[in-house]
Structure 1
C-alpha cells in the first residue's frame, strides 16, 4: 500500500499485463529523482538456433525456453543522458535484468519459431533515459535476438531496440554485445554518454587487429582479394589466378575469412569442404525465416547427389538431346533412370532428403528431375524460335542491359590492333539493306534505327583458350533494325574466330542474314543459337554476377565498418545488403569456383572469372545509375523536360520504361530521407563516419579503380542521393531484373543454351548434310549437352525462386526500424509510388499495341513489378541480393 503523499499507478506494459510504479506527487520522474527507483517492464523477442536449422524448421523454442530463464541471459540498460563520472562519463549501466517466463504474444509480427519473453528493469536514481542495452548470453547455445522493447519508460515513453543479431555465449566475445535503440544520430549529435559505445562497436566490427581464421561467432567485416576460387593443392588444373590487387586482373573486394593459404600457392587461400560452411559475419548468414540456408542445402544436393548421378548416366551415352521432345520430357515426366550399376549404387548412397530433391516417381519406375514448365513455353512450345522472340528478349528478357545504339557502320573494335590485328566488323551495307524497310544503312544509322548486341571485344581475347576446352564458341555481333511498330528485326549476325595463324592476324568472320526456308533457315537458327550462347555467358558472369553481386559486396563491408547502427545512412542502406555476403561466399565455393557449377555448365569454363575481371576494367560506378546507363548505351538521350530526364529511343523498351519508374521512386525516397538529416551540405562534409565510409568504399572496396576520375565527391546532398540511389538500384531492381527471369526464360534450354560444343557445319560435312534433313538434331547437338543442361537448370530454378520471407522494395521487416516519424512517412510515400508503378506495369502489359511487353509467347514483362509471392513468379524486387 502506498504511503502518505504517494500514489500508486498501474500502466500497461504492452503485453497484456500491468506493472506498478511508485511515484511521488503524481510524477514517476519525481520518484526516480528522489531515489525511490521503479520497475520498468519490457519484452524480448528471440529465436533459438534450432528454429533456423534446415532439417528442423518446424521446431519452436517453446520446448526449451527454460534453458534461457534464470540468469542465462542478462540485459543492462545503458543511459544516453547520464554519464558515469567513475567511468569517463560513459553512459551509466543499469542493474542486470533477466528473461522471464514467455508471454502470450500480443505482437502482430510474432511468427512461428519466435518466443516473447518478459523482462523487468530496475531503474534507479540518476540513470537517465536509456539509449542502448548490453546483452550477455551465459547459455552454451546461441540465439537470434530480434527485438527488445520497453513500452513506457518514465519521462520517455516507448523505447524500441531492433536488434536482429545472433548472440553467442559470452566466452566467444572479448567485449560486451551492445544494441542501440532505434533513434538516429549523426556522429556529432550523438549523446556524449553513448559516443564511446558507438565508436567501440565500430572498432569491434572492423576487427582490423584480428589476424586469424575467423569463426562463425566473429563479427568482423574486412576485405580480401578473390584468391579462394582455385584448389591448387588438389591439382594444378584447379589453380586459378588471384583477382584483385593488380591492374592486370582487377576486381572488387570480397569479405575476409582469414583461412590459411594453400600449400601449392601461398597467394591463394584454402577452400572449404562441400558442407559450404564458409565464414561470413554471423548476422550476414541466411536465417530469419528463409527456409534457413535453403539455397546452400539445395546447392549441396546438386553437388553431392545430382552431379554424380548425372555423370554416371551420361558418361556412357552421347550426352545429347536427340529431339525437342526429349527436352520437353524434363518437364512432362522426368527422364527415366537407366538400370546400370553405377546409378543404382549412387541412389542407395544418397541421403533421403537429397533424394527427394532430384527423384520423382514415373509410372512405376524411378525417374529424375521433373522440372516445372518454364513460362517461355507454357503457352506455345515453338514461338521461342522466331526472330520476333529472339529480339524481344533483348528488350524484355533476362538480359536487357546489353543492347546499344549503333554509333558507326560497319561496327568497329576497340581491341589493340597491335595484339589482335583487324577486329573490325565485316558486315557491309548489302548484307542488311534488304531488311531496312527501304532505308540505306547510312539513313538507318543517322535516324537512330540501328542497334547492336556486341560480344566481339569481350570474348575475342579469350576465344583461343576457351575453344581449347570442350567449348566451341564464336565472338558475335548482332545488328538490329528498329521497325515502325517499335519492335526489332535482326538484320545480320557476325560469327568470328581468331585467325588460325595467330590472333595478331585479326579475326576470321562470317556474316549471316535472316532466312525462312531451306538450309539457309537452319543455318540462321544456328547462328542465333551461337548468339544466345554468348548472351547466356555474359549475362551470368557480367550482368548478373559482376555488375550486381560482386560490385555491391564492398559497400556492404564498408557500411558495417564505418557507419554506426545509429547512423541514418546505415538505416537507409542496411536492408539492401541482407544476405548478400552469404550468397557471394556460397557462390565462391560452389558456383564460380574452379570446377564449380558455372565452370561446368557455362561456355567460358575455367576462364569465366578471369574474363569477368577483364570486363570490370571498364566498370564505372556512375554509369550504374539507370539513366546514365541508358544514355551511355545510346538507347536514350538526355531530356530535361522529361520527369526521368531521359528520352528513350526505343519507346517500347520494357526494362527501361519500368526501370525508370522504379529508379524515379528510389531517387525520390532517398532525396526525402537524406534531406531530413542533411539540410545543409556542410553537415555531409562534417560527418566523419560518412566520409570514412565513402573513402573506404572507393579506395579499398573498389581499390583497383580508386584512381578513376569518375568517382563522385561526397560533398553535397545531390551527390549523397546519387550514390545511395545507385547502390539501392543495383542491389534491388537491377538484380531482380537479371535474376528472377532466369528460369522463366532460360528454363527451356534451347531458348538460352549455356554453351556450344561444335562450330557451324561446313559445306560437304556429314553435319551439313544432316542439317538439310534434320536441322533440329544438329542444333541440339551443337548446344548444351544433357549433363550440363540438367545441372544448369537445377541451379537457375533455385536462383529464380522467391523465398517466403523476402522483404521487397519499399518494405522494412520491422515497423519500428526508426523512431523518426518523418522518415517513416517518407517510406510510406515510397511504397505508394511503387504500388503506382506496379499498377502502371499491369496496364502496360495489357496494352496490345506494345508488342515487346509480351510478344507471341504471351510472357508479360513483370521482372520490375515490385512485389511477388513466394516461388518462381518472374516478378518482384526484393530489397537485396539475397539469392
Structure 2
C-alpha cells in the first residue's frame, strides 16, 4: 500500500513509522475481519450474541481456519504485533489487545459516570459546550427545517439539579450540552435511507454537581419528518434510570445513540478534518515558499512529520469511495460531503485552545489565572492539561521568533514569509480566502499566534483525538459507529426482544 501512493521522498515514512503503520493496519484489519471469521465457529454468522462474545475476542481469541494466506502474512510482516495477533504453532488464534476501557472493569463503560467522563477526557473531548439558554435552540434555517427547539423541559431535569431551578443552574454555569442535533439533522433522511441504518440526531444535557463531577440529565433523540415541505423533527426525551430493568436498558440505548453521533463526528471532523486535512495546506506552503534555512520552516517542520504520507494513505483507504469510513462510520457514502459542509464554517483563529474553550463557554477570560483563562469545569483533563501544553508552546514560539523578528517591520518585509501566508490563505485554504478572520501577518504577535496554533493542531490537539481511539473505541459497544434500528417501543417485537435478551438487542 505504501508503494501505491506518491509523496515527496523526504515525506516518506521512516523505518520505525513504517513498522508502526503496518502493525496498526493489521490491528484494524483484524477488527474488520473478525465478524467474517466468526462464520466458521458461530451459530449466528455475522452477529455477536452478547457482550461476552465481544470480550472473548480479546481474552481467548478465535480459532482461525487453516488457510495458507495466514502463514504468508506471518512471513511477510515479522513484527511483534503480528506475531502476537497470529502466533505460530498449536491452535491458530486471532487475538486483539484488551482495550483500556474494559481492562480493569468490564462493566465500567456502561455507567453514567464513565459516559460523562469521556465527554471531558475520552477520545472526543472537544465538543461539550456550556448551555446558555433553555430549552436549547436550533440554528437550522427555519424556512427549510421549521422549529427545531429542543423538547427537553424543566420537568425532565429539575429533579436532578440538587435543588436548583433551571434558571439558577444556567446562571451558575452548571448546565452543559453535547449537541449533535443541528450537525446531523440535515443529512439524516439520506443517511437513514442507506441499508441497515437508523440514526437519530441527539442532544445530551449534563449537570455539574456540587462535587465537581458531570452527570447526564437527559438525552433527546430526534428523527427527521417531512411536514408541509419542511424537514421537521419528531423527538423523544429520555432521562437516567438505574440499570437492571428494561427501562434501564432503554437508557443504555439512548446513550449508545449519542455515542454513534459522537463517533461519526469524531472520526470525520474532530480527527480527519480539524487536524489532518486542515494541516496539509500549511505543510505544502511551508515547503514551497520557505527555504529550509528559514526560521519559520525550522520551527514548524518537525510538527509536520508524516502528515503528508498519512493523508495520502487516508485518501487511498479511509475516506475514499467505498473505503473504511464509508463502510464503518454511519454517514456512509455521505461522509465526505458532510465534512465538506462543515469545513465551510472552519476558522483558523478558533483552533487555538484558549479561543476554542471560550467559544464553547467552557472557560472565561481571567487575567489573574496562570494561562489567562479560567475553566468553569475544573475536572476537565483535556482542557486543564491542554492549557499547560498550549502555554509552553506559546512561550517557546514567542521567545524563538523574538530572535529573528525584533519588530513588526521585519515581519512585513520578509518576502518568503509573506509569500507563505498568501499561499496558505489563497491557495491552500482557497475556499475560505475572503474570510475576514484571517490574520494579516503584519505583526510579530500575529505570526507567533499563527505558529502556536499550527503546532498545537499538529501535536497536542491531534494527540487528544487520535491516541484514545483503541483504548476507548476498541471495545465497540462503548463507541459504536452505526445504529441499525429505532429505539424499541413498548408493544413492538424489538421491545419484546429487549425484554428477552437485552444484550443481543443492544448489539
TM above 0.5, yes or no, is yes
CA distance in 1, matches of 2:91, 2:228: 53
Q: Where does 1:151-550 land on structure 2 (aligned, <5 Å)? A: 274=1, 277-287=4-14, 289-292=15-18, 294-295=20-21, 299=25, 311=36, 314=39, 317-337=44-64, 344=67, 347=70, 352-353=75-76, 356=82, 360=86, 364-368=90-94, 370-469=95-194, 470-499=196-225, 504-516=230-242, 517-550=244-277
CA distance in 1, matches of 2:294, 2:150: 52
CA distance in 1, matches of 2:399, 2:381: 27
| Change in CA separation of 1:277 and 1:573 when aligned onto 2, cut-off 3 Å | same
Q: Name the SS for the 1:699 alignment partner.
A: helix
Partners of 2:275 and 2:461 within 8 A in 1: yes
What displacement does 1:769 show?
1.7
Residue 585 of structure 1: aligned partner: 312
Residue 245 of structure 1: aligned partner: none
Q: Name the SS for the 2:176 alignment partner.
A: strand
What displacement does 1:770 show?
2.5
1:753 has 2:476 as partner: no
What displacement does 1:741 show?
1.1
CA distance in 2, matches of 1:461, 1:706: 26
**What does the per-residue CA deviation read over 1:223-262, in whole Å, with 9 as the maximum and x for residues that have no partner?**
xxxxxxxxxxxxxxxxxxxxxxxxxxxxxxxxxxxxxxxx
**What does the per-residue CA deviation read over 1:387-417, in whole Å, with 9 as the maximum and x for residues that have no partner?**
0000011111111100000121111111111
CA distance in 1, matches of 2:89, 2:154: 57
Higher relative contact order (Cα pairs below 8 Å, separated by 6+ residues): 2
What displacement does 1:595 show?
1.4
| Change in CA separation of 1:363 and 1:776 when aligned onto 2, cut-off 3 Å | farther
| Change in CA separation of 1:503 and 1:477 when aligned onto 2, cut-off 3 Å | farther
State TM-score, norm by structure 2.
0.93
- The unaligned stretches of length 5 or more in structure 1 are 1-273, 781-883
Partners of 1:301 and 1:357 within 8 A in 2: no
| Change in CA separation of 1:625 and 1:693 when aligned onto 2, cut-off 3 Å | same
CA distance in 1, matches of 2:160, 2:28: 46
What displacement does 1:422 show?
2.0
CA distance in 1, matches of 2:456, 2:5: 28
What displacement does 1:500 show?
5.2
Partners of 1:286 and 1:293 within 8 A in 2: no
What displacement does 1:352 show?
3.6
1:555 has 2:282 as partner: yes
Structure 1 or 2: more helix by fraction: 2
| Change in CA separation of 1:345 and 1:584 when aligned onto 2, cut-off 3 Å | same
Stretch of structure 1 that moved more, 771-780 or 667-676: 771-780
- The unaligned stretches of length 5 or more in structure 2 are none
CA distance in 2, matches of 1:502, 1:604: 26
CA distance in 2, matches of 1:614, 1:354: 40
Q: Name the SS for the 1:290 alignment partner.
A: helix
**What does the per-residue CA deviation read over 1:642-687, in whole Å, with 9 as the maximum and x for residues that have no partner?**
2211111111111111000000000000000000001111000000
| Change in CA separation of 1:471 and 1:345 when aligned onto 2, cut-off 3 Å | farther
Q: Where does 1:684-763 land on structure 2 (aligned, <5 Å)? A: 684-763=411-490
Post-superposition, which runs of at least 4 consecutive aligned residues in structure 1 deviate over 4 A?
300-303, 305-318, 343-351, 354-359, 361-364, 500-503
**What does the per-residue CA deviation read over 1:595-622, in whole Å, with 9 as the maximum and x for residues that have no partner?**
1112111111111111111111111101
Residue 637 of structure 1: aligned partner: 364
Residue 385 of structure 2: aligned partner: 658
Decide which structure has the larger Cα Rg and report it: 1
What displacement does 1:336 show?
2.6
CA distance in 2, matches of 1:300, 1:672: 43
How many residue pairs align between the two structures?
500
CA distance in 1, matches of 2:266, 2:28: 22
Partners of 1:331 and 1:373 within 8 A in 2: yes
What displacement does 1:721 show?
0.6
What displacement does 1:772 show?
2.3
CA distance in 1, matches of 2:386, 2:49: 40
| Change in CA separation of 1:403 and 1:323 when aligned onto 2, cut-off 3 Å | same
What displacement does 1:734 show?
0.5
Q: Name the SS for the 2:453 alignment partner.
A: helix
**What does the per-residue CA deviation read over 1:529-571, in whole Å, with 9 as the maximum and x for residues that have no partner?**
1101111111111111111000101000000011111111111
| Change in CA separation of 1:377 and 1:456 when aligned onto 2, cut-off 3 Å | same
1:599 has 2:326 as partner: yes
What displacement does 1:443 show?
1.3
| Change in CA separation of 1:359 and 1:734 when aligned onto 2, cut-off 3 Å | closer
What displacement does 1:485 show?
1.1
What displacement does 1:294 show?
4.1
CA distance in 1, matches of 2:442, 2:84: 54
